[in-house]
């Protein structure tokens, strides 16, 4: 059988920026093994698969890296919403909802901006394990642990940009990954995200990490509306708002590819 496939650059206003995600609309789920093989074939940070649920604007979404299924992915959700609103030629309103392993996720459409409505992460003070300490060229000022990631606070954007992690060493830690962050020179904060255990050495732009970063920086700065740049090579630009136990993460997206594959 043949299936549609889209590739979308998320959290950017231009092609070849932000974070590329593959999006596969389905009527019913394919076997898990097949979806994992498709994600491996796409060889992007994430491939999103989604099916319709009862209700005109409700879907079930799942995300796969080239090596594993993950519990939450922001940029591939943004990319999926872009496909729903712009490519499926259906008369959706300005809000759709996705059922996921992390609960209900909502996406609003406001002109060319897409706004993710995600649950916040919770953080506790932590100590970086010795193996992880060996994996970083510069050690952070503070270390925090969320549901799946370590958050590492650095003094400056320059320190974050200069990091050269040892990915093989970091991949040994039983967490999804590591979020390095610091105050930004042109934004409230910057970040870089490393997920070698999930098959992604450095993720270009990570929406899910901003469910951790937004409450962290809201507490640090006293602000609930924050501008963010993920300072990877491709760069990603996000606007984040803290609303009690939810985070609104806004960004743009651009369609790069539309095609079909046979499976």
Active site residues per annotation: 46
Report how far residue 40's alpha carbon sits from residue 33's, in angstroms, rounded to the nearest whole number.
11
Report how far residue 73's alpha carbon sits from residue 83's, in angstroms, rounded to the nearest whole number.
16
List, in sequence order, every beta strand (DSSP E) within 156-221.
177-183, 189-195, 200-203
Cβ burial of 212 (10 Å; 0-12, 13-18, 19+) is: buried
> 45 is written with which tokens?
């940070």
User: Vertex 70, ends 237 and 63: CA angle to 5°?
Assistant: 75
Query: What is residue 185's DSSP assignment?
Result: S
């Amino acid at each position: 059988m043949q299936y549609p496939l889209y590739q979308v650059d998320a959290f950017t206003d231009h092609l070849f920026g932000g974070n590329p995600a593959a999006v596969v609309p389905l009527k019913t789920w394919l076997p898990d093994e097949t979806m994992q093989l498709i994600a491996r074939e796409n060889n992007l940070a994430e491939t999103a698969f989604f099916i319709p649920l009862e209700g005109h604007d409700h879907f079930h979404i799942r995300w796969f890296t080239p090596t594993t299924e993950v519990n939450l992915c922001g940029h591939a959700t943004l990319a999926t919403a872009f496909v729903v609103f712009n490519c499926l030629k259906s008369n959706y309103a300005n809000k759709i909802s996705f059922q996921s392993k992390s609960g209900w996720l909502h996406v609003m459409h406001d002109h060319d901006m897409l706004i993710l409505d995600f649950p916040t992460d919770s953080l506790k003070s932590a100590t970086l394990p010795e193996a992880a300490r060996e994996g970083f060229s510069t050690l952070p000022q503070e270390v925090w642990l969320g549901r799946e990631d370590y958050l590492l606070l650095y003094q400056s954007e320059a320190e974050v940009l200069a990091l050269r992690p040892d990915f093989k060493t970091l991949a040994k830690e039983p967490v999804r990954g590591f979020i390095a962050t610091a105050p930004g020179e042109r934004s409230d904060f910057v970040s870089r995200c490393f997920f070698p255990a999930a098959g992604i050495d450095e993720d270009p732009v990570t929406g899910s990490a901003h469910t951790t970063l937004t409450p962290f920086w809201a507490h640090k700065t006293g602000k609930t509306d924050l501008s963010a740049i993920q300072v990877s090579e491709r760069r990603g630009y996000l606007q984040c708002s803290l609303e009690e136990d939810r985070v609104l993460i806004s960004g743009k997206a651009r369609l790069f590819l539309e095609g079909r594959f046979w499976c």
